[in-house]
Amino acid sequence: MNKNSSNIMALAPNTSNKRETVCIFGTGDFGRALGHKLIQSGYPVVFGSRSTQTSSLIPKEAEVLSHAEAAQKAAIIIIAIQRQHYNFLIPLAEILRGKVLVDISNNLKINQYPESNAEYLAQLVPGAKVVKAFNTVSAWALQSGTLDASRQVFVCGDDMEAKQMVMDIVRALGLTPLDQGSLLAAQEIENYPLQLFPMWKFPILLSLGLIAFFFFYCLIRDVIYPYVYENKDYSFFIAISITNRICPILALILLALVYLPGVLAAIIQLYRGTKYRRFPDWLDKWMLCRKQLGLVALAFASLHVLYTLVIPIRSFVRWRISSQTVSQALNNKTEPLDTTNAWLSDSYLALGILGFFLFVLLGITSLPSVSNNVNWREFRFVQSKLGYLTLVLCTAHTMVYGGKWFLSPSSYRWYLPNAYMLSLIIPCTVLVIKFVLIFPCLDKPLTRIRQGWERNPQYSE
């Protein structure tokens, strides 16, 4: 469900001061919270309950009656009751004829029932006009007034007039109604509150898997190997050295994974000669979470920067530098400056700084407040061209860092190459394929396919 959908209804102030009575079935958490809010907004409220005894929790301005009596006092009835208890409404069908029934219910699982709760309610009480609303607002947020993140209320229903009445109430409560169309949309609206960061699941699970893999990989190479062969205890590497190895590796791999689905999609389109056939589901899903992958990558890159800044104050590093200085003094010999090494070190630092700067720029432009202010072409320029430049810079940063050891046998421990060598596989693959796709013999047909041309048109005139 797109929260930013453009069909936010225009605010139409209700000109009459007199508010219609609203009936709420159910004096549970939500019924009471909504009752409080309605009374604050000037609506007379009547509760329909199994017990007509009022309690201190129920707003004292509200009446508590039986369901049948309460229903007769209002044109709108909000059903603040779980779906499994809806059967009690069947005997009330005659009284509810022509009334607007507002279904606010949620389920415990996505697509728990074959039909939505609102459609089920419409089947049980066929003479009523059912509107779905309020299910994305929590009782706690209504009561505490902390509605910043959930001010939008999705509304759907088959009867325009009934929907309009409910949307007027939503506005009067200081919330924003979002018309989602007919009651068919209710299923999707009911599934919405059950989704838990749907786009973040893949990036986070993937990151956890990669962290576990690279942690054990580095542990074997950097801690267990020296312990076995040199009897040296480098277990303290876990705190900073290994973490600072894993962070840039993950940042680079995840950044490359942001661009890999794009090149795979291009290959598929070239192979099929059309853009009108759907991509496989896994590729569609992967493309949808590219922003989240990029943001997780940026988080790892930022951690790498912080861990790198503390290197000079590490006790191990200070010990190594001072012991080298002492050994040079004892041998009365100074190492001449190796300009090649100085060049490599400065270049790798410069590439890292520039890569990180562009990475941050990419992250900033993905924020809704920024991306809403650039046009589509500008957004694509930043995310695609600057994105690839970032990938090139970060890949080059890693290559320059360890390039000289690639072929050195001493850098392999138990035949395992350095972890950063593994991190280069996906970025290099993406960059090579992208480079190949730039060649006019591939780029021209791809551009035509993306403009709608088909090699074997399915529907020829």
Q: Select from 139, 189, 249, 254 the one that contacts ligand NAP (CB under 6 A).
A: 139
Of the candidate residues 23, 24, 26, 223, the single one contacting ligand NAP (CB under 6 A): 26
> Is 362:390 a contact under the CB 8 Å cutoff?
yes
| Least CB distance to ligand NAP at residue 258 (A) | 35
Comparison of 29 and 179: residue with beta carbon closer to ligand NAP: 29
Map residue 238 onto helix, strand or coil. helix
Q: Which is nearer to ligand NAP, 153 or 393 (CB)?
A: 153
Residue 103, SS3 per DSSP: strand
Query: Which letter, b or e, does each residue of 144-153 get, where b requires 16 or more Cβ atoms within 10 Å of its Cβ?
Result: eeebeeeebb
Which residue has the closest beta carbon to ligand NAP? Answer: 28
- Cβ proximity of 24 and 80 under 8 Å: yes
Question: In the bound complex, what is the minimum distance in angstroms from residue 145's beta carbon to ligand NAP?
Answer: 14
Residue 28 sits in the site that holds ligand NAP (CB under 6 A)? yes
Please, what is the minimum distance in Å from the beta carbon of residue 131 to ligand NAP? 14
Residue window 94-133: x/- pattern of binding to ligand NAP, with contact defined by CB under 6 A: ----------xxx---------------------------
Positions of E strands within 99-161: 100-103, 129-132, 152-157
**Binding positions for ligand NAP, 141-200, rule CB under 6 A:** none
Counting contacts by CB under 6 A, is residue 30 touching ligand NAP? yes
Interaction of residue 138 with ligand NAP, rule CB under 6 A: yes
C-beta of 141 vs 349, nearer to ligand NAP: 141
The binder of ligand NAP chosen from 20, 61, 68, 88 (CB under 6 A): 88
Give the Cβ contact number of residue 216 at 10 Å: 11
Length of the chain: 461
Which residue, 134 or 286, is less far from ligand NAP as judged by CB?
A: 134
DSSP 8-state symbol, 201: H
Task: Name beta bridge partners: 25.
Answer: 48, 79
CB of 117: closest distance to ligand NAP in angstroms? 7
Angle, helices 243-272 vs 281-288, to 10°: value is 130
Q: Are 65 and 52 in contact (CB under 8 A)?
A: yes
78 interacts with ligand NAP by CB under 6 A: no
DSSP state of 417: P
Kindly tell me which of 52 and 327 has the beta carbon lying closer to ligand NAP.
52
- Please state, in angstroms and rounded to a whole number, the distance separating the CA atoms of residues 346 and 412: 25
Residues making contact with ligand NAP (CB under 6 A): 26-31, 49-51, 80-82, 85, 88, 104-106, 135, 138-139
